[in-house]
Amino acid sequence: MSSTLVVQLVISGILLGGIYALSSIGLTLIFGVMKIVNFAHGEFLMLAMYVSFWLFHWAHLDPYLSMLISVPLFFIIGILTYKVFIKKTIGAPILSQIFVTVGLSIIIENLALLFWSADFRTVSLSYLSRPIILGPFSGLGLEEIIVNKARLIAFILGISLSIAFYLFMRFSYLGKVIRATSQDRTTALLMGINIDRVYTISFAMGILLVGIAGALMIPIYTVHPFVGFEFVLIMFVVVVLGGMGSIVGAVVAGLFIGVVEVFSGFFIGPESKQAVYFLVFIAVLVLKPSGLFGEKGEEELERIEAIGE
Protein backbone atom coordinates (compact mmCIF):
# COMPACT_ATOMS: atom_id res chain seq x y z
CA MET A 1 0.00 0.00 0.00
CA SER A 2 1.58 3.24 -1.11
CA SER A 3 2.02 6.10 1.27
CA THR A 4 0.17 8.35 -1.17
CA LEU A 5 -2.86 6.15 -0.81
CA VAL A 6 -2.70 6.24 2.95
CA VAL A 7 -2.42 10.01 3.01
CA GLN A 8 -5.23 10.30 0.49
CA LEU A 9 -7.49 8.06 2.55
CA VAL A 10 -6.68 9.82 5.80
CA ILE A 11 -7.40 13.21 4.26
CA SER A 12 -10.68 12.01 2.77
CA GLY A 13 -11.60 10.44 6.11
CA ILE A 14 -10.88 13.57 8.08
CA LEU A 15 -12.84 15.71 5.64
CA LEU A 16 -15.76 13.32 5.94
CA GLY A 17 -15.39 13.29 9.69
CA GLY A 18 -15.72 17.06 9.87
CA ILE A 19 -19.23 16.71 8.49
CA TYR A 20 -20.07 13.96 10.94
CA ALA A 21 -18.73 16.04 13.78
CA LEU A 22 -20.86 19.05 12.99
CA SER A 23 -24.02 17.09 12.48
CA SER A 24 -23.49 15.11 15.69
CA ILE A 25 -22.84 18.04 17.99
CA GLY A 26 -26.50 18.95 18.13
CA LEU A 27 -27.42 15.40 19.07
CA THR A 28 -24.85 15.25 21.83
CA LEU A 29 -25.87 18.67 23.11
CA ILE A 30 -29.50 17.60 23.38
CA PHE A 31 -28.58 14.39 25.14
CA GLY A 32 -26.13 16.11 27.47
CA VAL A 33 -28.61 18.71 28.59
CA MET A 34 -31.90 16.83 28.75
CA LYS A 35 -30.83 13.19 28.67
CA ILE A 36 -32.96 12.50 25.65
CA VAL A 37 -31.81 10.76 22.51
CA ASN A 38 -33.32 12.56 19.58
CA PHE A 39 -34.09 9.72 17.20
CA ALA A 40 -35.48 12.27 14.75
CA HIS A 41 -32.18 14.09 14.45
CA GLY A 42 -31.42 12.56 11.07
CA GLU A 43 -34.79 13.64 9.74
CA PHE A 44 -34.08 17.22 10.71
CA LEU A 45 -30.84 16.92 8.79
CA MET A 46 -32.79 15.58 5.85
CA LEU A 47 -35.18 18.53 6.07
CA ALA A 48 -32.25 20.90 6.16
CA MET A 49 -30.83 19.34 3.03
CA TYR A 50 -34.19 19.69 1.32
CA VAL A 51 -34.51 23.33 2.36
CA SER A 52 -31.18 24.13 0.75
CA PHE A 53 -32.08 22.04 -2.25
CA TRP A 54 -35.38 23.79 -2.86
CA LEU A 55 -33.91 27.23 -2.29
CA PHE A 56 -31.32 26.38 -4.89
CA HIS A 57 -33.84 24.87 -7.23
CA TRP A 58 -36.48 27.58 -7.09
CA ALA A 59 -34.55 30.69 -6.10
CA HIS A 60 -31.12 29.72 -7.41
CA LEU A 61 -29.77 30.49 -4.00
CA ASP A 62 -26.31 29.17 -3.37
CA PRO A 63 -26.47 26.46 -0.68
CA TYR A 64 -23.83 28.18 1.39
CA LEU A 65 -25.93 31.34 1.38
CA SER A 66 -29.08 29.40 2.14
CA MET A 67 -27.64 28.96 5.61
CA LEU A 68 -28.75 32.50 6.29
CA ILE A 69 -32.30 31.24 5.97
CA SER A 70 -31.73 27.81 7.49
CA VAL A 71 -30.26 29.12 10.72
CA PRO A 72 -33.27 31.12 11.91
CA LEU A 73 -35.69 28.65 10.32
CA PHE A 74 -34.28 25.64 12.11
CA PHE A 75 -33.95 27.52 15.35
CA ILE A 76 -37.67 28.19 15.20
CA ILE A 77 -38.43 24.61 14.14
CA GLY A 78 -36.38 23.48 17.12
CA ILE A 79 -38.31 25.67 19.54
CA LEU A 80 -41.64 24.48 18.20
CA THR A 81 -40.60 20.84 18.28
CA TYR A 82 -39.47 21.22 21.84
CA LYS A 83 -42.65 22.96 22.95
CA VAL A 84 -45.03 20.60 21.19
CA PHE A 85 -43.29 17.23 21.55
CA ILE A 86 -40.11 17.06 23.53
CA LYS A 87 -41.17 18.94 26.63
CA LYS A 88 -43.83 16.35 27.40
CA THR A 89 -41.28 13.57 27.38
CA ILE A 90 -38.96 15.06 29.99
CA GLY A 91 -39.27 12.85 33.02
CA ALA A 92 -41.62 10.48 31.19
CA PRO A 93 -40.92 6.74 31.13
CA ILE A 94 -38.07 5.66 28.90
CA LEU A 95 -40.47 4.17 26.40
CA SER A 96 -42.10 7.55 25.76
CA GLN A 97 -38.76 9.29 25.60
CA ILE A 98 -37.57 6.99 22.89
CA PHE A 99 -40.70 6.56 20.89
CA VAL A 100 -41.91 10.12 20.75
CA THR A 101 -38.83 11.03 18.75
CA VAL A 102 -39.05 7.76 16.83
CA GLY A 103 -42.65 8.67 15.96
CA LEU A 104 -41.51 12.11 14.93
CA SER A 105 -38.87 10.65 12.67
CA ILE A 106 -41.43 8.36 11.03
CA ILE A 107 -43.75 11.29 10.42
CA ILE A 108 -41.13 13.65 9.02
CA GLU A 109 -39.60 10.99 6.81
CA ASN A 110 -42.89 9.95 5.31
CA LEU A 111 -44.20 13.47 4.91
CA ALA A 112 -41.09 14.13 2.86
CA LEU A 113 -41.89 11.03 0.84
CA LEU A 114 -45.47 12.15 0.42
CA PHE A 115 -44.65 15.68 -0.73
CA TRP A 116 -41.34 15.30 -2.48
CA SER A 117 -41.42 11.65 -3.61
CA ALA A 118 -38.56 9.21 -3.27
CA ASP A 119 -36.54 10.88 -6.07
CA PHE A 120 -32.88 11.43 -5.44
CA ARG A 121 -32.04 15.08 -5.75
CA THR A 122 -28.70 16.77 -6.02
CA VAL A 123 -27.28 20.23 -6.21
CA SER A 124 -24.24 20.54 -8.40
CA LEU A 125 -22.28 23.73 -8.28
CA SER A 126 -20.02 24.44 -11.20
CA TYR A 127 -17.42 26.20 -9.10
CA LEU A 128 -17.02 23.08 -6.97
CA SER A 129 -16.81 20.58 -9.77
CA ARG A 130 -13.04 20.53 -10.24
CA PRO A 131 -11.14 19.05 -7.34
CA ILE A 132 -8.11 20.66 -5.80
CA ILE A 133 -4.94 18.79 -6.58
CA LEU A 134 -2.14 18.99 -4.09
CA GLY A 135 1.39 17.93 -4.83
CA PRO A 136 3.14 15.92 -6.01
CA PHE A 137 5.39 16.22 -2.98
CA SER A 138 8.43 14.43 -4.29
CA GLY A 139 10.41 15.30 -1.15
CA LEU A 140 7.94 13.27 0.94
CA GLY A 141 7.66 10.59 -1.65
CA LEU A 142 4.00 11.43 -2.25
CA GLU A 143 2.19 11.69 -5.51
CA GLU A 144 -0.80 13.92 -6.19
CA ILE A 145 -3.45 14.17 -3.49
CA ILE A 146 -6.97 14.96 -4.59
CA VAL A 147 -9.21 17.07 -2.40
CA ASN A 148 -12.87 17.56 -3.14
CA LYS A 149 -13.76 21.24 -2.81
CA ALA A 150 -17.24 20.81 -1.39
CA ARG A 151 -15.91 18.47 1.24
CA LEU A 152 -13.11 20.82 2.08
CA ILE A 153 -15.54 23.70 2.53
CA ALA A 154 -17.83 21.55 4.64
CA PHE A 155 -14.90 20.45 6.73
CA ILE A 156 -13.50 23.92 7.31
CA LEU A 157 -16.88 25.44 8.11
CA GLY A 158 -17.93 22.42 10.12
CA ILE A 159 -14.84 22.41 12.30
CA SER A 160 -14.82 26.19 12.70
CA LEU A 161 -18.42 26.16 13.76
CA SER A 162 -17.75 23.29 16.13
CA ILE A 163 -14.93 25.22 17.74
CA ALA A 164 -17.01 28.38 17.88
CA PHE A 165 -19.79 26.43 19.49
CA TYR A 166 -17.42 24.90 21.98
CA LEU A 167 -16.08 28.34 22.93
CA PHE A 168 -19.61 29.61 23.22
CA MET A 169 -20.52 26.81 25.62
CA ARG A 170 -17.35 27.34 27.57
CA PHE A 171 -17.26 31.10 27.96
CA SER A 172 -20.62 32.72 27.30
CA TYR A 173 -23.09 33.18 30.10
CA LEU A 174 -25.75 31.17 28.31
CA GLY A 175 -23.26 28.39 27.60
CA LYS A 176 -22.35 28.22 31.26
CA VAL A 177 -25.98 28.09 32.25
CA ILE A 178 -26.56 25.23 29.84
CA ARG A 179 -23.57 23.31 31.12
CA ALA A 180 -24.55 23.89 34.70
CA THR A 181 -28.02 22.55 33.97
CA SER A 182 -26.70 19.47 32.26
CA GLN A 183 -24.36 18.70 35.13
CA ASP A 184 -26.77 19.14 37.97
CA ARG A 185 -30.29 20.00 37.19
CA THR A 186 -31.48 20.26 40.78
CA THR A 187 -28.80 22.69 41.82
CA ALA A 188 -29.36 24.72 38.68
CA LEU A 189 -33.01 24.90 39.61
CA LEU A 190 -32.11 26.05 43.10
CA MET A 191 -29.87 28.75 41.67
CA GLY A 192 -32.87 30.19 39.94
CA ILE A 193 -32.09 28.96 36.43
CA ASN A 194 -35.16 28.62 34.26
CA ILE A 195 -34.77 25.00 33.26
CA ASP A 196 -37.52 25.08 30.68
CA ARG A 197 -35.87 27.99 28.89
CA VAL A 198 -32.50 26.24 28.96
CA TYR A 199 -34.04 23.10 27.48
CA THR A 200 -35.84 25.07 24.79
CA ILE A 201 -32.71 26.89 23.75
CA SER A 202 -30.54 23.79 23.87
CA PHE A 203 -32.90 21.79 21.75
CA ALA A 204 -33.31 24.64 19.29
CA MET A 205 -29.55 25.04 19.04
CA GLY A 206 -29.17 21.33 18.45
CA ILE A 207 -31.60 21.54 15.55
CA LEU A 208 -29.99 24.73 14.28
CA LEU A 209 -26.62 22.99 14.08
CA VAL A 210 -28.07 20.20 12.04
CA GLY A 211 -29.71 22.86 9.85
CA ILE A 212 -26.27 24.24 9.05
CA ALA A 213 -24.93 20.75 8.45
CA GLY A 214 -27.69 20.14 5.91
CA ALA A 215 -26.67 23.18 3.89
CA LEU A 216 -23.03 22.09 3.91
CA MET A 217 -23.94 18.57 2.86
CA ILE A 218 -26.29 19.22 -0.04
CA PRO A 219 -23.46 20.02 -2.49
CA ILE A 220 -21.94 16.63 -1.60
CA TYR A 221 -24.77 14.19 -1.02
CA THR A 222 -27.99 13.43 -2.78
CA VAL A 223 -31.04 14.02 -0.70
CA HIS A 224 -34.04 11.73 -0.49
CA PRO A 225 -36.58 11.08 2.28
CA PHE A 226 -34.59 8.23 3.82
CA VAL A 227 -31.23 9.91 3.90
CA GLY A 228 -31.77 11.03 7.49
CA PHE A 229 -31.87 7.48 8.75
CA GLU A 230 -28.54 6.67 7.15
CA PHE A 231 -26.89 9.63 8.77
CA VAL A 232 -28.51 9.33 12.17
CA LEU A 233 -27.02 5.89 12.62
CA ILE A 234 -23.57 7.33 12.04
CA MET A 235 -24.37 10.19 14.40
CA PHE A 236 -25.29 7.72 17.13
CA VAL A 237 -21.98 5.99 16.68
CA VAL A 238 -20.13 9.30 16.84
CA VAL A 239 -22.02 10.55 19.86
CA VAL A 240 -21.66 7.36 21.85
CA LEU A 241 -18.01 6.98 20.94
CA GLY A 242 -17.27 10.55 21.92
CA GLY A 243 -19.28 10.27 25.09
CA MET A 244 -22.89 11.37 25.15
CA GLY A 245 -22.99 15.04 26.01
CA SER A 246 -19.39 15.83 25.12
CA ILE A 247 -18.82 18.32 22.32
CA VAL A 248 -15.08 17.72 22.13
CA GLY A 249 -15.82 14.01 22.12
CA ALA A 250 -18.22 14.38 19.20
CA VAL A 251 -15.61 16.20 17.14
CA VAL A 252 -12.84 13.72 17.86
CA ALA A 253 -15.12 10.74 17.34
CA GLY A 254 -16.54 12.30 14.18
CA LEU A 255 -13.09 12.56 12.67
CA PHE A 256 -12.21 9.06 13.81
CA ILE A 257 -15.35 7.52 12.35
CA GLY A 258 -14.79 9.42 9.13
CA VAL A 259 -11.36 7.85 8.80
CA VAL A 260 -12.66 4.41 9.78
CA GLU A 261 -15.40 4.66 7.21
CA VAL A 262 -13.08 5.66 4.38
CA PHE A 263 -10.57 2.94 5.20
CA SER A 264 -13.12 0.18 5.63
CA GLY A 265 -14.95 1.37 2.52
CA PHE A 266 -11.73 1.09 0.59
CA PHE A 267 -10.52 -2.22 1.94
CA ILE A 268 -13.67 -4.14 2.75
CA GLY A 269 -16.03 -2.61 0.29
CA PRO A 270 -18.66 0.08 0.48
CA GLU A 271 -21.51 -2.28 1.40
CA SER A 272 -19.89 -3.59 4.52
CA LYS A 273 -18.36 -0.40 5.84
CA GLN A 274 -21.46 0.25 7.93
CA ALA A 275 -20.96 -3.05 9.68
CA VAL A 276 -17.47 -1.97 10.68
CA TYR A 277 -18.46 1.13 12.53
CA PHE A 278 -21.39 -0.58 14.11
CA LEU A 279 -19.02 -3.11 15.50
CA VAL A 280 -16.94 -0.19 16.79
CA PHE A 281 -20.16 1.10 18.29
CA ILE A 282 -21.05 -2.12 20.06
CA ALA A 283 -17.47 -2.48 21.26
CA VAL A 284 -17.59 1.00 22.78
CA LEU A 285 -20.92 0.30 24.44
CA VAL A 286 -19.53 -2.85 25.92
CA LEU A 287 -16.07 -1.70 26.92
CA LYS A 288 -16.53 1.93 27.80
CA PRO A 289 -20.15 2.96 27.55
CA SER A 290 -19.38 6.42 28.82
CA GLY A 291 -17.39 6.96 25.61
CA LEU A 292 -14.06 8.64 25.17
CA PHE A 293 -14.94 11.96 26.72
CA GLY A 294 -18.19 11.30 28.50
CA GLU A 295 -18.71 11.52 32.20
CA LYS A 296 -18.41 8.15 33.78
CA GLY A 297 -21.61 6.79 35.10
CA GLU A 298 -23.64 8.84 32.67
CA GLU A 299 -24.87 5.66 31.04
CA GLU A 300 -26.27 4.61 34.37
CA LEU A 301 -27.68 7.96 35.31
CA GLU A 302 -31.20 8.04 36.53
CA ARG A 303 -33.77 9.84 34.53
CA ILE A 304 -34.51 13.41 35.39
CA GLU A 305 -37.88 14.43 36.59
CA ALA A 306 -40.61 16.23 34.75
CA ILE A 307 -40.56 19.95 34.29
CA GLY A 308 -43.11 21.63 36.51
CA GLU A 309 -45.28 24.14 34.77
Partner 1 sequence: MSSGGKRDGIILLAGMAVFALLPLFVKNDFYLDGFILIFVWGAFAGAWNIISGYGGMVSLGHNAFFGIGAYTSTLLFLRQGVSPWIGMWAGAAIASALGIVLGVICFRLRSHYFALATLAFGQVASIIALNWRGLTEGAEGLTLPIRPGFAKMIFATKLGYVYMGLGLLVAVLLITYLIDNSKLGYYLVAFRENEDAARALGVRTGRVRLAAMAISSALSALIGSFYAQYLLYIDPSSVIRIQIAVQVALFAIVGGVGTVFGPFVGALIFIPITIFLRARLGTALPGLHMVIYGGILILVLFYMPKGIYGMLRERFFPSSRIFK
Which of 62, 168, 274, 304 is in the footprint of partner 1 by CB under 8 A? Answer: 274
Q: Minimum CB separation from partner 1 for residue 108, in Å?
A: 8
The residues, any chain, with a CB within 8 Å of residue 247's CB and separated by 6 or more, are 25, 28, 29, 162, 165, 166, 169
CB of 285 or CB of 307, closer to partner 1: 285
Q: Taking contact as CB under 8 A, which single stretch among the options 69-77, 91-99, 156-164, 169-177 is the one that binds partner 1? A: 91-99
Which of 34, 55, 237, 252 is in the footprint of partner 1 by CB under 8 A? Answer: 237
Which of 94, 139, 171, 308 is in the footprint of partner 1 by CB under 8 A? Answer: 94
- Residue 201 three-state SS: helix
What gap in Å lies between CA 293 and CA 250, rounded to an integer?
9
Peptide bond into 72 cis (omega under 30): no
CB of 95 or CB of 190, closer to partner 1: 95
109 binding partner 1? (CB under 8 A): yes
117 binding partner 1? (CB under 8 A): yes
The residues, any chain, with a CB within 8 Å of residue 71's CB and separated by 6 or more, are 208, 211, 212
Helices (H), 35-93: 41-59, 63-81, 87-89
CB of 131 or CB of 289, closer to partner 1: 289
What gap in Å lies between CA 23 and CA 228, rounded to an integer?
11
Interacting residues toward partner 1 by CB under 8 A: 31, 35-37, 85, 88-89, 92-100, 102-107, 109-114, 117-118, 225, 229, 233, 236-237, 240, 271-272, 274-275, 278-279, 281-282, 285-286, 289, 299-301, 303
